[in-house]
Amino acid sequence: MTIENGGNGKGGGRQGHWTMQDIADRAHVSPKTISRVINEEQGVSESTRERVLDIIKEVGYVPHTGARSMRGNRRDCVGLTVSAPMSEVPLTEDLFLRVFSQLYRVFGKQGTFVCFDLNPFASDPTGNYGRGLWEHRYSACVICGPLAEDDEVIHRVHEAGFPYLALSRLDTLPEVSYATVDYVEAARLSTEFLIKRGHSRIGMIQGFKGFHPTVERERGYEAAYKASGLEMDAGLLRPVNFGSEEIPDAVHAILSDPTVTAIIDTSGAEDAESLREGARRAGRTLSEDVELVAWTYTQDAVVSAEACAHVWLPVWEAAVQGISELHRWFHDEIEGPVTILLSPRLYETPGTEEISKARGLFDLT
Amino acid sequence: MTIENGGNGKGGGRQGHWTMQDIADRAHVSPKTISRVINEEQGVSESTRERVLDIIKEVGYVPHTGARSMRGNRRDCVGLTVSAPMSEVPLTEDLFLRVFSQLYRVFGKQGTFVCFDLNPFASDPTGNYGRGLWEHRYSACVICGPLAEDDEVIHRVHEAGFPYLALSRLDTLPEVSYATVDYVEAARLSTEFLIKRGHSRIGMIQGFKGFHPTVERERGYEAAYKASGLEMDAGLLRPVNFGSEEIPDAVHAILSDPTVTAIIDTSGAEDAESLREGARRAGRTLSEDVELVAWTYTQDAVVSAEACAHVWLPVWEAAVQGISELHRWFHDEIEGPVTILLSPRLYETPGTEEISKARGLFDLT
DNA sequence: CTGAAAGCGCTAACAG
DNA sequence: CTGTTAGCGCTTTCAG
């Protein structure tokens, strides 16, 4: 049996749509009283409150969030948005699952909605990825993906005062709220390690062409060279898009120069085969005439059995911690911004069993 | 440089918050003209339109969804909600990734928001999992998880006329919009197969205690017994909660009866070790003194090397197809409801390499 | 082509 | 303890 609409007659076009006025009419009180009951405010007699609650339950009334959002700033939804088109910088399945799990644990479980803006670039090529905030769809958000050097949206988000968390940093906004890994240090560690092993011309496969993480890698690389007194050649750095098929080409290009005797894979693709393929095309063999340092997001994992060392970047761990902090900010338990910067760790390759290549979130068939 | 608020002075409490009126003031036109530009309506001169668009871009104005939602029913967000507490009926990682990927492909990619209500049971123990719709947070939704026999929410969603898709069916609402697998047929096939092999007392591990899928499994089991003329014993059916540790207990209990010579695992846990463990506790050995038929969600997979047959349930495939249909309904290309019912397929065990146990979405540490 | 007025459902502020 | 009024930012309707 369906209960009919309270009969305001105007009905936003939809049947079975109850408003506060309808409930008020049924309960013979004013809308404000309903509002008080719903928001658990003082000043309603126990009997009225119960009567109202009964009616609300009976008809299944739920307040209209849109209308509510026009008055105050209720915090009942957190967003996740991407700062670059998914096609250019795909999320890996591993990172996404961790981020999603953590959003569930700290927000979803307690009834907060979690809203994804998966392609803010669809309608607006410049990608106003903060739109969910401006639209009042959510009142806090996680920003996944790398930030472009000239990103303006992040500045707006920062200034607007919403709780937010970027999973990257940005020079042009050093006070940004972030949870990430010290890529500068990771690059410095990797380069220093190879220099100490006697290499002087070291190639580097970077990730995220055109974005800030590339800058961080360069800075660490440069620092290690500077400290060693050796001369650095910027031509040995090659950005590639994550998840692209560009790795073999990049490795090939770098190793075609016979003076290059070592290479660092910072791409995060965790794709040993592409590295091998690139070396092969250049007529080189990893661990024989080229030494490799590979980056990974899994603790103590082996990306490539030929690598002489690996660097673990606890990106997932940073994201998980960051979301916890964001949650506390969301509930005004702390003030923003969040600043979590985990350190990378270099270790000599502990075994030969390689982990499988990182899978993009939408690689599934 | 930040541009200051247009100065309506009232400012919903937040700085840098632009309204249509602000844009109108700047452009020296009325708010309605701004509205026309935003909604790509006719009746604005090219020059005005451009001027307005420039201002909008300059200040980064985005219309307030809440306010918009109070008039029409724009469709710019799709929801996903769960019909049972996540703790009772966890989503597997596999299903979730497929559902999420498909939501991305058909909705997210084109700029539609995707909003998750991960625990409608947090604030309301009865679980009004349709709340996102009533709140006008989203205008269509996917309902994950099994439906309870006495579920009322699904009736309300159905009657409200929103596009929706349940990933289960329900007897009390046969016209529900669904995309799932024929569990009745899967149970019938499994039972018939074992009866034909000469078994007369067959145990069955069910899933989702207290929910409708259990009913469907019973129905198929019963149908096979009826067709064979054998007598059925309802005591051999044991529901377990998915993902729980109850499987060994249930197997043990069933196999403690020495007249039981076969067992069907319909739980979907894909957990060979738990089945073995249960048999062991009952002093039995799979494939020696008990025959097993195991259900799986992966095509041609081997859940247990000891099984004499497997039944593949294309649940993921149904969900993916269903979301495509939901998308067409969302855009009024078709009328609802969606009715996708894929058939299970029984195959004799093709190999011995077992797939790994299904992982819950939030099992990650 | 453009604007004025009314009102969506709710809540803050102020009266009783 | 309860009600009245006004107004959030937008879109619909009707008038220019």
B159-188 pLDDT, tens per residue? 988 999 999 999 999 999 999 999 999 999
pLDDT value at position B97? 93
Give yes or no for A4 touching B (CB within 8 A): no
Residue of least CA–C1' distance to C11: A71
Confidence of residue B15 (pLDDT cuts 50, 70, 90): very low
Compute the distance between CA of residue B345 and CA of residue B297 in angstroms, rounded to an integer: 11
Coil vs helix vs strand at B238: strand
CA B195 from chain centre, in angstroms, equals 33
Cβ contact (<8 Å) for A60 and B2?
no
**What are the C-alpha distances in Å from B13 to residues A160, B18, B236?**
11, 12, 63
Res A16: pLDDT: 55
Q: What H or E segment, with its residue span, contains residue B341? A: strand B339-342
What is the pLDDT, as a whole number, of residue A321? 98
Is the CB atom of residue B71 positioned under 7 angstroms from any atom of strand C? yes
Q: Does the predicted model carry a pTM greater than 0.85? A: yes
> B136 and A14 in contact by Cβ < 8 A?
no
The whole-angstrom separation of Cα B106 and Cα B326 is 9
pLDDT tens, residue by residue, B187-236: 999 999 999 999 999 999 998 778 898 999 999 999 999 999 999 999 99
Q: What is the pLDDT of residues B43-55, one digit of tens each?
A: 888 888 888 888 8
**Bases of chain D with protein Cβ within 7 A:** 1-5, 7-13
Average pLDDT (B327-354) is 92
Q: Would you say A164 and A129 are in contact if contact means Cβ atoms under 8 Å apart?
A: no
Could you tell me where the beta strands, DSSP code E, fall in chain A? 77-82, 113-117, 141-144, 164-166, 178-181, 202-206, 237-239, 262-265, 291-296, 309-312, 339-342, 345-348
SS3 assignment, position B130: coil
A13 touches B: beta carbon within 8 Å: yes
pLDDT digits (tens, 9 = 90+) for A198-223: 999 999 999 877 889 899 999 999 99
For strand C, is any atom closer than 7 Å to the CB of B73?
Answer: no
Residue B17's CB: how many other CB atoms inside 10 A? 18
Main-chain phi, psi angles of A252, to 5 degrees = -55, -50
**A12-62 per-position pLDDT tens digit:** 334 457 888 888 888 888 888 888 888 888 888 888 888 888 888 888 888
Strand partners, B181: B342
Residue-level pLDDT at B1: 28
Shortest Cα–Cα distance, A59 to chain B (Å): 10
pLDDT above 60 (res B135) = yes
- Cα radius of gyration (chain B): 26
- Scanning A49-88 for CB atoms below 8 A from B yields 60-73, 77, 86
Q: What per-residue confidence (pLDDT) applies to B330?
A: 95
Neighbours of B108 (CB within 10 A): 23
Of A255, A350, A259, nearest to A301 by C-alpha is A350
- What is the rounded CA–CA span in Å between residue A305 and residue A351? 7
Question: Which residues of chain A carry a pLDDT beneath 50?
Answer: 1-15
- CB crowding A321-359: b at 16 or more within 10 Å, else e: bbbbbbbebbeeeeebbbebebebebeebeeeebeebbe
Give tens-digit pLDDT for B270-282: 999 999 999 999 9
Chain B touched by A239 (CB under 8 Å): no
Written as one letter, the residue type at B357 is K
Q: Give the closest nucleotide to A14 (alpha carbon vs C1').
A: C8
- The span from the first CA to the last CA of chain A, in angstroms, equals 43
B248 or A351, which is more confident: B248
- Contact indicator for B353, B301 with CB cutoff of 8 Å: no
Q: What is the mean pLDDT of residues B287-293?
A: 96
Q: Which residues of B touch A91 (CB under 8 A)?
A: none
* Nearest protein residue to the C1' atom of C2, measured from CA: B33
A255, A203 Cβ separation under 8 angstroms: yes
